[in-house]
Amino acid sequence: MNTLWNDRFASRTDLIGSSAIRELLKITSLPDVISFAGGLPAPEVFPIERFKEAAEVVLTEMGDRALQYGTTEGYQPLREMIAKNASKYGINITADHVLITTGSQQALDLLGKILINRGDRILVESPTYLGALQAWNAYGVKYITIPYDDDGMQIDLLESRLRRGIKFIYVLPNFQNPTGVTLSRERRIKLVELANAYGVPIIEDDPYGQLRYEGNHIEPVVVLDDQCNTSGEPAYNGNVIYTSTFSKTLAPGLRLAWVIAPPEVITKLVQAKQGADLNTSTLNQFLAYEVANGPWMDTHIKTIRDTYKERRDVMLNALEEYMPDGVHWTRPKGGLFLWVTLPEGLNSSHLFPTAIEKRVAFVPGTSFHPLGGGENTMRLNFSCMRPELIVEGIKRLSEVFKQNL
């Protein structure tokens, strides 16, 4: 028998490829490596005791429902809680506009499935979130990119790109992955104005919005879309699909996120999700609701903020102290990542093996550039390592750079 599996795979599998980061993480998760490579929350802030109490309550009082199949839309009390919390941030919606997804990676996949025809052009920041690229590559997209500066995507370059015909705009306005930069309020307003003018929808990916360590909250794009919408329709009939997650505020192991979208988009997403995994884990939805409902959550998020702010500051100070001239980095006001730019001519991928030898890891920046480039850049995560390890890791990294400058 000849098992010619390689001849059997669909043509789209040539487009998918493997996530460089997830492959990389296998190397960098060796116990003595100081890893700035992952995007992991700090396990020290997982509310383990509260999860234990929640598991006891959920399994005792509603175990028969928590272990059963659930509706594709999601656990109704959780949808209502999310709708209520969203309204705190000015996103005025009901539970009907919320779909629970199996992590926001699934949200991105389902949005690709319902929106992308092969060959469609999508506008993304460059660099941008690798998971979005990986989800959408399978649908045969073409990427149009827009560069960033300290205020996020360079909005003055947007209109020329919209003229080329864009299916949707993908933006991470808060503490972007991978750069850590935040889209300014002025640019958000300009973004929604232009998107509306050209009839191009926006996907707003906001996993880190609640993790701000300094400065004032800026309204999400979905809210600003509502404000500039002169027809008086509410935002949830608007032009923006918003997604966020419990991965950074509760625990990524739950695989729980949500999409906020107009009803007709929710309907299509539900149909696509039925075919993708029927429903998100009922047990995890019940647990998340039990854990996150009520005033405890605000206190918990404050703890996370305090922890990550300290680590960010430690990393910024260490960079300042140890990095040689010519190395630059962003100064994020929140989130999990900062972005380092080496002098032109240095290639971070080439430095990676030396870094691993010195037991320190990062993600080379090229992965985040859908059309190539960024050879002299890298992403550093500051949420996952304890402060003393951050200092030591940055010291080691600076030695790698100095050897190659």
276-305: contacts with a copy of itself (CB under 8 A): 276-284
Among 28, 35, 37, 38, binds a copy of itself (CB under 8 A): 38
When the beta carbons of 249 and 376 are compared against a copy of itself, the nearer one is 249
Nearer to a copy of itself, 47 or 364 (CB): 47
d(CA 126, CA 145): 6
Q: Strand runs (DSSP E) across 342-399, as ranges?
A: 360-361, 363-364, 377-381
Task: Give 121's strand partners.
Answer: 142
Segment 320-379, which members bind a copy of itself (CB under 8 A)? none
Residues 153-182 that bind a copy of itself (CB under 8 A): 167-168
Distance CA 323, CA 83 (A): 45
- Cβ contacts of 386 within 8 Å, gap of 6 or more: 44, 311
Cα separation, 114 vs 96, in Å, equals 18
Q: Which is nearer to a copy of itself, 246 or 329 (CB)?
A: 246
State the Cα–Cα distance between residues 205 and 342, nearest whole angstrom. 28
- The pair of structure tokens assigned to 304 is 């996370």
Closest separation in Å from C-beta 324 to a copy of itself: 33
What residues from 40 to 59 belong to the interface with a copy of itself (CB under 8 A)? 40-41, 43-44, 46, 48, 51-52, 55-56, 59
CA nearest neighbour of 115 among 88, 141, 89: 141
Q: Which of 205, 185, 184, 193 is nearest to 124 (CA)?
A: 205
The interface with a copy of itself within residues 190-249 (CB under 8 A) comprises 196, 199, 201, 229-231, 233, 237-239, 247
Q: Which of 272, 304, 360, 378 binds a copy of itself (CB under 8 A)?
A: 272
Please report whether residue 274 would count as binding a copy of itself according to CB under 8 A: yes
Q: Is 142 an interacting residue with respect to a copy of itself (CB under 8 A)?
A: no
Q: 34: exposed, middle or buried (C-beta count within 10 Å: 0-12, 13-18, 19+)?
A: buried
Judged by CB under 8 A, the residue of 8, 32, 215, 216 near a copy of itself is: 8
Q: How far is the CB of 161 from a copy of itself (least distance, A)?
A: 18
Which residue, 147 or 263, is less far from a copy of itself as judged by CB?
A: 263
Q: Considering only the stretches 102-110, 202-210, 216-224, 356-364, report the one whose residues sit in contact with a copy of itself under the rule CB under 8 A.
A: 102-110
